[in-house]
Every structure is written in structure tokens, then in C-alpha cells.
Amino acid sequence: MSATRSNDIPAIELRGLCKRYGSGDTAVDALKGVDMRIAPGEVVGLVGPSGSGKSTLLKSLGAVIDPTAGQMFLGGEAIFDGVWKVNDLRTLRRDRIGFVFQAPYLIPFLDVTDNVALLPMLAGKSNREARRRALELLEALDMGHRAKANPSQLSGGEQQRVSIARALANNPPIILADEPTAPLDSERALGVMGILNAMAQQHQTAIIVVTHDEKIIPLFKRIYHIRDGKTYEESVG
Ligand SMILES: Nc1ncnc2c1ncn2[C@@H]1O[C@H](COP(=O)(O)OP(=O)(O)OP(=O)(O)O)[C@@H](O)[C@H]1O
């Protein structure tokens, strides 16, 4: 799979992305022309104060809300150019974008394997193939021994690893992670970042991590700072 993801073509590119909520006197310009370029296999931080536009940016990229103007490209394909260029946003989200949230949001009545296998099944894989993929990812995340457990039997860090396996299940070229380490102690937070970095390298996945977490900020080679709807890039080391 990684061989098909060329480094010359950015996994994610945003040009002049704008989002206005509402209209008239009460309009809020949450994104004011955001430019971003992220290569396959790159893990970047997105850091900014409350209200700066982080969630709006992630939701736009995740096709959860409609941007107002600008362009978004995934793997060189324009998915948004003033309007959406893809017909089926649900399929776009399911097959090309993985989400990791602050809370793992696992389905309580499915065991760990089925929580991870669900998305590949929805994408048309057979039960057997989807579960094989789930087990492979759980092994890679050192969760193979908990494959039959229910989410309620896992620690917070273990649940977060399952949610990372779920985000990777359809091998999306992009993962959007919103404060993935916020509820974890230092050791587990660094562990989760280690996993995301390893997965990015192995699968050439581009990952954006929204974070306030001082523990993990030094781990990024590149950080986008966002302030008042505009991004500024910082290269570290
Ligand atoms: N649905 C909405 N309707 C109107 N304004 C909104 C809406 N969602 C967000 N905003 C405004 O857009 C701006 C950016 O909000 P956003 O949630 O993207 O910030 P954030 O950086 O994610 O903040 P936080 O760290 O507090 O989650 C803020 O001024 C916010 O009040």
C-alpha cells in the first residue's frame, strides 16, 4: 500500500481555506485562509489557543462541516474547491480519513476485535477478512491479548490504543487526531505518540494531531500554530 503513496504528492494540501459560521452581524470567521501541506508519512502538530479554529479545521478536513471557500486536496485530488468535488462524503470519511478522538468512543456491546473490524466490514470486507485485519492491528498495537475483552474491561490507555487500531482499520491515507493523549499520563501519552509515529512510517499515513499537551509537543518535527483562524508553520530540529 505504501508504495502507491508518492512523497511528491502531498497527502493533504489546503489552500486559502475559509470557514464562516452564520451570516450578517453575527458571522464568525473561524478560518481565514489556511494553507497547509503535509506529506505522506508525516505527523504534524496543530496547536493553538481555545477558539483559534482547531476543531473547525479538523471538521472541515474530515468533511464533517462545509468550508466556505478555498481548496482542499487529498493525495493530489481536489475534494473541495469552493464546493465539494466528491459526491459521497460518507464514503470519503469512511475510506480515506481515520479519526482519533480524546475519548475512545468504543462501542460497549462489541468486543475489542469487532470494534476494530466494524469499519472494514462496512467498507465491504468479509467478516473473516475484517477480523483478520483487526487482529493484525491489535497485535501491532500490543493489544492482541485483549482482543476478546469488552471495552469496559480496558484501561484508558488500552482503549485509546483500540481506537487507534480502529482509525487505521481501512488503512486511510490520513488520520485526524483530536487531543488523543489528553486523558493519559506521561508514559501512556508518549506510548500513543510512538504508535502514531510508527504507524505513519509503516503505512505512509499523514497524521494531524491537535494538542495542548506539553508532554508531546516536543515530539513533532513540524507544528502548525493556529491563531485567530490563520496558521503559521514552525519547523523543529
Ligand atoms: N457552530 C458554530 N457556530 C458559530 N460559531 C462557531 C461554531 N463553532 C465554532 N464557532 C466559533 O469559531 C471559532 C473557532 O472555534 P473552534 O471550535 O474551531 O476553536 P478551537 O480552536 O477548536 O477551540 P477549543 O480549543 O476551545 O476547542 C470560535 O470563535 C468559535 O466560537
* CA gap 119, 202 in Å, rounded: 20
Reduced to 3 states, what is the DSSP secondary structure of residue 218? helix
- Using DSSP's 3-state secondary structure scheme, residue 154 falls into coil
pLDDT of 3 higher than 80? no
Counting Cα atoms < 13 Å in the Cβ hemisphere of 176 gives 18
Atom 1, ligand 1: residue with shortest CA distance: 21
Quote the ipTM score: 0.98
Asked if residue 51 has its Cβ within 6 Å of ligand 1, the reply is yes
Contact partners, residue 29, CB within 8 Å, separation at least 6: 18, 19, 20, 229
| 3-state secondary structure at position 21 | strand
Structure pTM?
Answer: 0.88
CATH number at residue 105: 3.40.50.300
Domain region containing 114: 39-64+88-235
Ligand 1 center from residue 103 Cα (angstroms): 19
Residue 51 in any domain: the answer is: yes
Q: Give the total number of structural domains in the chain.
A: 1
Residue 84 has a CB neighbour count (10 Å cut-off) of: 16
Within-domain flag for 74: no
Q: Nearest C-alpha to atom 31 of ligand 1 is from which residue?
A: 51
pLDDT in tens, 172-223: 999 999 988 887 788 878 888 988 898 899 889 999 999 988 888 888 989 9
For the residues 222-235, what does the mean pLDDT come to?
A: 91
For ligand 1, the distance from its centroid to the CA atom of residue 142, given in whole angstroms, is: 36
Q: Give domain status of residue 12, yes or no.
A: no
Query: Ligand 1 within 6 A of 28 CB?
Result: yes
Pocket test for ligand 1, best of 20, 25, 54, 231 (most atoms within 8 A of CB): 54
Q: Is the CB of 56 under 6 A from ligand 1?
A: yes
Residue nearest to atom 26 of ligand 1 (CA): 50
Stretch 45-69: mean pLDDT, rounded? 94
Does residue 71 lie in a domain region?
no
Sign of CA dihedral 162, 163, 164, 169: positive
Query: In this structure, is residue 107 part of a structural domain?
Result: yes
Distance 128 CA to ligand 1 centre (A): 42
Structural domain contains residue 217 = yes
CA atoms of 13 and 71, how far apart (whole Å): 8
- Mean pLDDT over each residue of the chain, to the nearest integer: 91
Ligand 1 atom with minimal separation from the 48 CA: 21
**Residue 7 maps to a domain:** no
Burial label for 128, CB within 10 Å (0-12, 13-18, 19+), is exposed
Count other Cβ atoms within 10 Å, centred on residue 127.
11
Which one-letter amino acid corresponds to residue 10? P
Q: What pLDDT was estimated at residue 183? A: 74
pLDDT for 191: 84
DSSP string spanning 73-133? Answer: EETTEEEEESSB--S-HHHHHHHHEEEE-SS----TTS-HHHHHHHHHHHTT--HHHHHHH
Residue 100 and residue 148: Cα distance in Å, rounded? Answer: 21
Position 73 in a domain: no
Residue 26 Cβ contacting ligand 1 at under 6 Å: no
- The alpha carbon of 30 and the centre of ligand 1 are apart by a number of angstroms equal to 7
Give the per-residue pLDDT at 4: 54
Distance CA 216, CA 181 (A): 8
C-alpha–C-alpha distance, residues 183 and 4, integer Å? 35
Neighbours of 26 (CB within 10 A): 7
Choosing from 46, 47, 56 the residue with most ligand 1 atoms within 8 A of its CB, the one to mutate for a pocket test is: 56
